[in-house]
């Protein structure tokens, strides 16, 4: 009896969500679909994306190859689905690391205050003055190529904003009466942080993360397009675009259309969902 009621409540909540925030629901659906495809890539794809087939090169979209084949005869649809895996992996990890490090620095900066805080904020300002692609390129130039290096580079581009958000949370919490009371009673700083700062930091974190996911994917695609991102053999949408643009766009337009469309769809999904989250949880950020 209770299970049925629960299920109905979920359903009506979802329907309400769909009606009031149609774009956000669309974004959520897109995200879920792409994540599903990425996670279950080996089962969803029809061919092995790494196996070359010299006799099937450069076929256009057809019944057997939904998105055609590339210059090595690999099935594009499978490559795109596996590429979703790579994009999601890179973006999730870079966001996780970037926001984690950024939050640590931000919380420290906000809590300690004073000169250290000012200094750290200047550093953050300096980093934010740079467009993220240039920052990422600089980091990659220093660290070299490689999957983990790309993740680190993108994480670095996201960390400054996370620092700002975390610091904001800490500053607003510091004024809180509860915190003063806790300090008077003798609670350790760690306890204060866990009980007061973290719960308030959750919502901004989710908003920041969902907005940053789109940016992370675009940065990864740009890096790969320039040849400085995810290395072969991992399929990367950005690198597929680069190969197509250089060699074969006129002969085989599908090589260029599909990876780019994939990027657009995924970023769109994250952006729409992130915008909706932001509207729900952080109305003062609207219009930014």
Partner 1 sequence: MVPTLVILTLLVFGVMRVLPGDVATRMLSDDAGAVSMKGYSAEALREKLGLNRPLYLQYLTWLWDTARGNFGESLFTGQPVRDEVLQRLPITFQIALMAQILSLIIGIPIGIISAVKQNSWLDLVLRFWSIFFLAAPSFWLGLLVILVAALQFNWLPPVGYHPFWENPMANITQLIWPAVILAHGGLATTARMTRSTMLEVLREDYIRTARAKGLREQVVIVRHALKNALIPVVTLSGLSFASLMGGTVILEQIFAIPGMGLLFINAINFRDYTIVQGVVLVFAVIFMLVNLIVDLTYGWLDPRISYG
Q: Binding to partner 1 by residue 101, rule CB under 8 A?
A: no
When the beta carbons of 42 and 253 are compared against partner 1, the nearer one is 253
Contact characters 30-59, partner 1, x per CB under 8 A: ------------------------------
Q: Considering the complex, what minimum distance in angstroms separates the CB of residue 90 from partner 1? A: 15
Instruction: Find, among 79, 94, 93, the residue nearest to 38 by Cα.
Output: 79
Q: Considering the complex, what minimum distance in angstroms separates the CB of residue 272 from partner 1? A: 7
Q: Binding to partner 1 by residue 23, rule CB under 8 A?
A: yes
Contact characters 225-244, partner 1, x per CB under 8 A: xxxx---------x--x---
When the beta carbons of 201 and 213 are compared against partner 1, the nearer one is 213
Interface of this chain with partner 1, residues 140 to 159, rule: CB under 8 A = 140-143
When the beta carbons of 37 and 272 are compared against partner 1, the nearer one is 272
Of 8, 9, 11, 122, which lies in the binding site for partner 1, with binding defined by CB under 8 A?
Answer: 122
Q: Considering the complex, what minimum distance in angstroms separates the CB of residue 120 from partner 1? A: 10
Stretch touching partner 1 by CB under 8 A, among 88-96, 101-109, 125-133, 177-185:
125-133
Q: Binding to partner 1 by residue 214, rule CB under 8 A?
A: yes
- Return d(Cα 102, Cα 205) in angstroms, integer: 11
- Return d(Cα 50, Cα 85) in angstroms, integer: 14
Q: Binding to partner 1 by residue 22, rule CB under 8 A?
A: no
Sign of CA dihedral 111, 115, 119, 125: positive
Of 28, 34, 41, 139, which lies in the binding site for partner 1, with binding defined by CB under 8 A?
Answer: 139
Q: Considering the complex, what minimum distance in angstroms separates the CB of residue 177 from partner 1? A: 33
Q: Binding to partner 1 by residue 112, rule CB under 8 A?
A: no
Within 10 A of 267 (CB to CB), how many other CB atoms are there?
Answer: 20
Would you tell me which residues interact with partner 1 (CB under 8 A)?
23, 119, 122-123, 125-127, 129-134, 137-143, 214, 218, 221-222, 225-228, 238, 241, 245, 249-250, 253, 256-257, 260, 263-265, 267-268, 271-272, 287
């Amino acid at each position: 009896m209770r299970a049925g009621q629960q299920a109905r409540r979920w359903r009506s909540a979802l329907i309400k969500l769909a009606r009031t925030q149609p774009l956000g629901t669309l974004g959520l659906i897109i995200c879920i679909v792409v994540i599903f495809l990425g996670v279950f890539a080996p089962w969803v794809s029809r061919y092995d994306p790494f196996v070359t087939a010299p006799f099937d090169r450069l076929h256009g979209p057809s019944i057997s190859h939904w998105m055609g084949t590339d210059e090595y005869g690999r099935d594009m649809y499978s490559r795109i689905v596996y590429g979703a895996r790579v994009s999601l992996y890179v973006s999730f990890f870079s966001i996780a690391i970037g926001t984690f490090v950024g939050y640590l620095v931000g919380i420290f900066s906000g809590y300690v205050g004073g000169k250290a805080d000012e200094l750290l904020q200047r550093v953050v300002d300096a980093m934010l003055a740079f467009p993220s692609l240039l920052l990422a390129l600089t980091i990659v130039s220093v660290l070299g190529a490689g999957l983990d290096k790309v993740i680190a580079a993108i994480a670095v581009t996201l960390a400054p904003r996370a620092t700002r958000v975390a610091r904001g949370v800490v500053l607003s919490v510091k004024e809180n009466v509860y915190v003063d009371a806790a300090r008077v009673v003798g609670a350790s700083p760690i306890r204060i942080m866990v009980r007061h700062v973290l719960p308030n930091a959750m919502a901004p974190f989710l908003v920041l993360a969902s907005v940053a996911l789109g940016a992370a994917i675009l940065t990864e695609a740009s890096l790969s397009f320039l040849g400085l991102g995810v290395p072969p053999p991992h399929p990367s949408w950005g690198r597929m675009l680069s190969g197509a643009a250089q060699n074969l766009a006129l002969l085989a337009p599908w090589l260029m259309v599909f990876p780019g469309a994939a990027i657009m769809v995924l970023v769109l999904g994250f952006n729409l969902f992130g915008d909706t989250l932001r509207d729900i949880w952080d109305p003062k950020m609207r219009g930014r």
